Structure 1
Amino acid sequence: MIRKTILLTAALLLTVDLTGTTPISGMEQPMVVHVHKQETQAVLNNPFMGLAPGADHDGPYVQPHRLVYGVVTWKELEPVKGQFNFAGVEKRLHFDEWNARGAKVILRVVLDYSSDTKHIDIPEWLYQEMHGDGAYYDADLGKGFSPNYSNPILIQEHAQLMKKLGERYDHDPRIAFLALGSLGHWGEWHTLQTDTQYIPFPKTEISDLYVHQYLDAFPDKKLLMRRPYPIVGEYGIGLYNDMFGNARSTYDFKDWYENGYRSSLAEADIPAVPEFWKEGPSGGEFGDADTVKGLVKSDKIESVLQQARDTHVSWMGASILADEKFPPAEQANLDRFLNTMGYRFTIPNASFSEQVRQGGLLSVALTIANRGVAPFYYKWPLELSLVDTAGHVAAATITGQDITRWLPGENDVQEFLPVPETLEPGTYTLCVAILDPDTKKPGIDFAMDGRRADGRYELGQVVVTKRPPLRLLF
């Protein structure tokens, strides 16, 4: 009976002192440190956001960027049935060079890319198997061949293409997103429909077949579509607007997804998906290459910034902007655009115990603010760590935070950092970081001071004290 009492008393003491910061009766309560981090307005060159210039340019571009945009035709990918030209595509789009510079590829596979000459963008072998089922066109938008998207052979072979693409790229860290370009001219989900030529666009039951093939092939990549069809909301797909910068076209695009619309192409009522951007990224291209440079002038930039805010833009294809050195005033406007797109994390407030015992749990409360217009779309881990005076990580933990839920605004985070029983007593620096799962190193910059050379951010000092021997009271 005495032994049971001793064990019970010891267990109670261990429970009371579990965190190593809760005082045992008669001991002084540890102080709580409150930190207010200084925010910065510097341009953050972070992954999965910002400018996305052409991948076919071997770079480097003048402006900072962590994305590039690569368009590839099916004809280039599979010139011979069952033989895939991945090496040739990756060489032309400089996959390895961009990867070495920290830039990921947004890939768009197209079946019809208009140009100045008569041509086809599906493989010749497929054209023959389909018996040329489709329509050549020669119009203001250019020349090309629009295949019959309802053709069962095309649908079947497209499924095989997606399967091989997924095997190659779904787990490839060089790929950021997939823009679903398999339908329409340039992959923009529309076909020529004029008084002189009418090319049918597939109904949603057909277009959904193509989308499902992407979903099956790329379960781990974020996808984007040009039209906010119902499948967007069902599967958390993003959207791209290839007319960004043109206010009227952009707000038509916004009206589509916010209020729904009647699609003359699909001959269907398309319901609203106003919160698509919470699950899938919003991106696109500037609509008029001839006017892009002028959009960073002071009389245009406010409209561009508002379009980015209103449509929750994370990235924008803009080779012309990326490869231009601007005068100071226009560069400042471009920097404002770069600071508006995507996510922008900072920590305005942090609270933690001033000291913790060996073997205890350090309680850490953070206010994570997202000053951007969109979340981060991949589940990268949030790390808390203690760094010693030599700059080495002495203790670290991966929290259970889902950073994709950090929407614009402020998010309260409460976490605990386990302190090893063997950690030497002394003063340590509490740090925070978001880790890149592929490199296991800090991968996202915060908009605040305190950045260390290794990419972690300092929050403040914590004293680790020696844990006293367990005293059994009886």
Structure 2
Amino acid sequence: MRGILTLPWIIILLMTMAGRADAPSSRTTTPEADDVYIVRVAPRATDAVLNNPFMGLVPGASYDDFPVPHSMVYKVLTWRELEPEKGAFAFETIERRYGMDAYAAREIRFVLRVALDYGTDERHMDIPDWLYEEIDGDGIWYDEDVGKGFSPNYANATLQRYHERLIQALGDRYDADPRVAFVALGSLGHWGEWHTYSDDATRIPFPPMAESDRYVAHYLEAFPNKKLLMRRPYPIAERNGIGLYNDVFGGVRQTYDFIDWFENGYASALADAFVPATPDFWKRGPSGGEFGNAGMDGMYFDPSRFAQLLDMARRSHLSWVGPSTDIEELDEAERRNLDRFLNTIGYRFAVRAASYPVEWRPGEDVTVGLEVRNLGVAPFYYDWPLELALVDAAGRIVFREAADETDIRGWMPGETVFEERLRLPASLPEGVYTLTIAIVDPATGAPGVDWAMEGRRPDGRYALGPAAVAAADE
């Protein structure tokens, strides 16, 4: 016996709702086999700039009042500040110094990088004094165009042993910490950028690939759950799904060289080896970096060169990039280009269409078909669950279920089509509900990603359309 929500009444109700001016989607109903009617909803897209996790502009952690909404900040940590005393790691001090908890309260995560050599205008050393003594000063003090500092001998076995311990301690602290988004593999070269200075008079050694792979292995062991990024597309990155970062993004020669490296491969003097192409690295690991020519990133958004910047972003499959301080100086045209840039990089999800039966029955399965578009240039890199839920007129969730037929990490640029089968509880009361969709942050249990479509509810879920639940059979 059916309840009061008879099939003709449901169809009239849904068609009436489809004509509402404030409806976030258009709706149609069509008969399928066995007189089962299907409602198809098409949420309206939006061009709004979305401030979503793991993508966008990433200012330094010490940058106060950055003028653009952002979901991450960037911090290079020297070994000297991480382990000032042998075996004593200063994590709590560093977290207070850079406001990690305060950022977390604003849902802003950290991108971390470790540096052993960060050249500046002053003579100094970025490894701890105790480590300098342990390696007997094995390295080169330099005063060159790149600045002043100390470059340790990366082949030193003692240095490698203590580096492994340092990175393992870092992983013990942050691999499962939701305050950290990504870890960029620094450690090698000036500023952790995987290069050392050389000219006719001075040559600062850089480790060949066999040596640098040992440093990469330390990160892989310590961070099984965090996405990593490297400065060079070495084979170890391809084998382990490590992303890439480009610290001179936007510079024409440097960026197109970087793109050529992973698209076509190249002979690396630093690696002392041929580095093969890894054109699909971005499908497993993120692409990031920072604008080159610090203090001049505004020029990249100038209309005269913006098309080239977009080409670089698309071919790099860029998810995030660190800006310079003059981002706040953009004029109106440059700011529009910035918005377009932010709507291009990373992921950008929208439901093109959803289809499901007009009538839902308690205790039975319901199949929901979904067509999801990723309008960005990169996927989402963490295993966050997709949720479908029913919400009543008072805004209460009466049913929700995590999708098990799709993995959002597989939503590559373009369209993904899939079906989800929901098992409705037998106790579900009859009535007309709103079917919602959300990507849930595992750290909070709440929706954590905004979609490029209308229908966002106060709790972060997005309304797809009405779903009518009939009375259970008696």
Q: When the two structures are superposed, what TM-score results if normalisation uses the length of structure 1?
A: 0.91
Equivalent pair of 1:238/1:279 in contact (CA under 8 Å): yes
Shift of 1:28: 6.9
The amino acid that maps onto 1:387 is V
Runs of 5+ unmatched residues, structure 2: 1-32
Q: Does 1:54 align with 2:64?
A: no
Shift of 1:92: 2.3
Which whole-Å deviations, capped at 9, do the CAs of 1:80-133 have from their partners, x for residues lacking one?
000011122112222112111111000001000010011110110000010000
Q: 1:201 aligns to what?
A: 206
Q: 1:93 aligns to what?
A: 98
Match of 2:390 among 372, 375, 386: 386
Q: Does 1:327 align with 2:293?
A: no
Equivalent pair of 1:385/1:417 in contact (CA under 8 Å): no
Match of 2:399 among 389, 395, 400: 395
The amino acid that maps onto 2:40 is H
Shift of 1:463: 0.8
Alignment of 1:352-367 (within 5 A): 352-367=356-371
Equivalent pair of 1:52/1:319 in contact (CA under 8 Å): no
Q: Classify the secondary structure of the residue corresponding to 2:112.
A: strand
Q: Does 1:45 align with 2:51?
A: yes
Q: Classify the secondary structure of the residue corresponding to 1:417.
A: strand
Q: Does 1:218 align with 2:223?
A: yes
Q: Does 1:297 align with 2:302?
A: yes
CA distance in 1, matches of 2:295, 2:61: 20
Higher alpha-carbon deviation: 413-422 or 217-226: 413-422
Q: 1:127 aligns to what?
A: 132
Q: Classify the secondary structure of the residue corresponding to 2:96.
A: helix
Alignment of 1:341-380 (within 5 A): 341-380=345-384
CA distance in 2, matches of 1:306, 1:275: 17
Match of 1:29 among 31, 35, 39: 35
Q: 1:14 aligns to what?
A: none
Q: Classify the secondary structure of the residue corresponding to 2:93.
A: helix
CA RMSD of aligned residues (A): 1.2
Match of 1:102 among 90, 102, 107: 107
Shift of 1:300: 2.1
Q: Does 1:265 align with 2:270?
A: yes
Equivalent pair of 1:54/1:319 in contact (CA under 8 Å): no
Shift of 1:459: 0.8
Q: Classify the secondary structure of the residue corresponding to 2:389.
A: strand
Equivalent pair of 2:291/2:324 in contact (CA under 8 Å): no
Equivalent pair of 2:391/2:433 in contact (CA under 8 Å): yes
CA distance in 1, matches of 2:329, 2:446: 32
The amino acid that maps onto 2:38 is V
Alignment of 1:57-456 (within 5 A): 57=63, 59-320=64-325, 324=328, 326-400=330-404, 401-456=406-461
Equivalent pair of 1:380/1:403 in contact (CA under 8 Å): yes
The amino acid that maps onto 1:293 is G
Q: 2:18 aligns to what?
A: none
Equivalent pair of 1:62/1:325 in contact (CA under 8 Å): no
Shift of 1:325: 5.4
CA distance in 2, matches of 1:60, 1:363: 47
CA distance in 1, matches of 2:424, 2:332: 49
Higher alpha-carbon deviation: 380-389 or 415-424: 415-424
Q: 1:19 aligns to what?
A: none
Q: Call closer, same or farther: CA 1:28–1:279 in 2, change over 3 Å.
A: closer
CA distance in 2, matches of 1:73, 1:139: 20
Q: 1:457 aligns to what?
A: 462
The amino acid that maps onto 1:116 is D
Equivalent pair of 1:56/1:92 in contact (CA under 8 Å): no
CA distance in 1, matches of 2:77, 2:84: 12
- The number of aligned residues is 441
- The percent of aligned pairs where both chains have the same amino acid is 54
Shift of 1:427: 0.5
Equivalent pair of 2:295/2:326 in contact (CA under 8 Å): no
Q: Classify the secondary structure of the residue corresponding to 1:213.
A: helix
Equivalent pair of 1:385/1:394 in contact (CA under 8 Å): yes
Shift of 1:60: 2.9
Which whole-Å deviations, capped at 9, do the CAs of 1:341-393 have from their partners, x for residues lacking one?
10000011111111111111221001010000000000100000111111011
CA distance in 2, matches of 1:454, 1:207: 46
The amino acid that maps onto 2:62 is D
Equivalent pair of 1:224/1:238 in contact (CA under 8 Å): yes
Q: Classify the secondary structure of the residue corresponding to 1:340.
A: coil
Shift of 1:321: 5.2
Shift of 1:467: 2.1
CA distance in 1, matches of 2:345, 2:122: 37
Shift of 1:319: 4.1
The amino acid that maps onto 2:215 is Y
Shift of 1:290: 3.4
Alignment of 1:4-19 (within 5 A): none
The amino acid that maps onto 1:55 is A
Higher alpha-carbon deviation: 90-99 or 447-456: 90-99
Q: Classify the secondary structure of the residue corresponding to 2:148.
A: strand
CA distance in 2, matches of 1:269, 1:327: 44
Equivalent pair of 1:33/1:351 in contact (CA under 8 Å): yes
Q: 2:20 aligns to what?
A: none
The amino acid that maps onto 1:48 is F
Q: Classify the secondary structure of the residue corresponding to 2:43.
A: coil
Q: Classify the secondary structure of the residue corresponding to 2:343.
A: helix
Equivalent pair of 2:298/2:330 in contact (CA under 8 Å): no
The amino acid that maps onto 1:407 is M
Which whole-Å deviations, capped at 9, do the CAs of 1:367-426 have from their partners, x for residues lacking one?
010000000000100000111111011001001121101000000020022211111111
CA distance in 1, matches of 2:145, 2:379: 39
Shift of 1:327: 3.2
The amino acid that maps onto 1:335 is D
CA distance in 2, matches of 1:178, 1:28: 54
